[in-house]
Amino acid sequence: MIIEDSSTLFEIEVEVFKEWHKRPHKHNFFELVFIERGSGTQCINYEEFPYQAGNLFLLPPLDCHSFKIVEETTFYFIRFTDQYFLNDNGFGNYQGWFDKMAYILANYNKRPGDILNSDRERHYIKESIYFIHKEYLSKEQFSNSVVAGIMTAIINILARSVERFYVDLGNERHQRFGEILRYIHYHLMDTEKLKIPVISSEFNVSPSYFSEYFKKQSGKSLADYIIRAKLKLVETKVVHTDLTLKEIAHQLNFTDSSHLARTFKSVYGMTVKEYKKSGIGCCAS
C-alpha cells in the first residue's frame, strides 16, 4: 500500500482482494482501475456492470463506486490529483490537458462501465500500466517524464473512446447528429463557431431549420445545450482548481462572473459556493 502524501501528484497501487473493503476517501481528480485478473461486478452510481480481466474503469471524483467480488481480483489503482494537470509534468500545455480530462469526466456518464472499445487499445493500455508501475516504483532519472509521455497517449485513448461512444449514439438518432455534437464540444470555447449560421453551413442544414432540427434530436435548444455543456466544465473547475469565478467565466466565455453565477444557480438551484460545499454525488468508497 502506498501512503497518501498531500503533495503527491500521481499514485499507483496494486491490491488483491477476495472481498471488497471500503477504501479511505481521497480527494483525487480522477482514478483509473485496471482489472488484471478476477471477476465480479462494478457498482457506480447504483448501477452494476460485470467486470473481468482486462477491463478498465474510469472513476470520476464525485461518483459512488465499489466492486462486488466473485473471483479473487487483482486491481491496479491509478490516481491523479488535479495538480498533475495544472503543473508542468511533461504535458506541455498542461491547462489544455486538464480541460481534456474535464471534458472526459463531463461526458463519461454517457457510457459508464468498461471504457475501452477495442482489443488493440486494451492491449496497449495493459502493457502501458505495467510499464508505468515499474517506472513509478523505480523512481529513476526522467521517470516522471517517461510516465507523463505514456499517460498522454492513454488520456488520448480515453478521450477518443468517450467521444466515439456519444458521437455514435448521436448518429443513431439521426445521420451526422453525433458529428454535430462533436463539433459543438470541440468548439465550446469559440462563440463565433457556435453560431447557428456557422454550424448549419458546416453541416449543410438550412439555418432557418437548424434550431428545430437540433431540439428535435437533443431535446434541448442549441443555446441550452451549450450552456449545460459549459456548466459541466464549470463543475470540474470549481471543485478541482483554485480559479476564481471571474477566471472561469473568462475561460468559458461568459459575459462576467455575475452572468456565470446567475446561470449556474438557474440550472442547479444553488450558488457555485453552495455546490462546492455540498460535495454532490461524493460517496466514494
For 98-155, give the DSSP string: HHHHHHHHHHHTTS-S-----HHHHHHHHHHHHHHHHHHHH--TTHHHHHHHHHHHHH
79 neighbors 11 (Cβ within 8 angstroms): yes
Main-chain phi, psi angles of 110, to 5 degrees:
-80, -15
Strands 30-44 and 56-59: antiparallel
Give every CB contact of residue 240 below 8 A, 6+ residues apart in sequence: 29, 61, 82, 102
59 neighbors 117 (Cβ within 8 angstroms): no
Q: For residue 242, which of 88, 89, 81 has the smallest C-alpha distance?
A: 81
Tally the C-alpha atoms within 13 A of residue 21's C-alpha that lie toward its C-beta. 9
Helix (H, G, I), strand (E, B) or coil at 109: coil
Q: Which helix (H) or strand (E) holds 250?
A: helix 245-251
Cα(283)–Cα(230) distance, integer angstroms: 24
pLDDT less than 50: residues of the chain: 1-7, 281-285
Query: In this structure, which amino acid lies at residue 250?
Result: H
- 97 alpha-carbon distance from chain centroid: 11
> What is the maximum alpha-carbon separation in the chain?
61
Candidates 3.30.70.330, 1.10.10.60, 3.40.50.300, 3.90.180.10; CATH matching 186-277: 1.10.10.60
Q: Is the dihedral of CA 92, 93, 98, 104 positive or negative?
A: negative
Q: Is CATH 2.60.120.10 the right assignment for the domain spanning 10-170?
A: yes
Q: What is the pLDDT of residue 24?
A: 58
* Domain chopping of the chain, boundaries: 10-170, 186-277
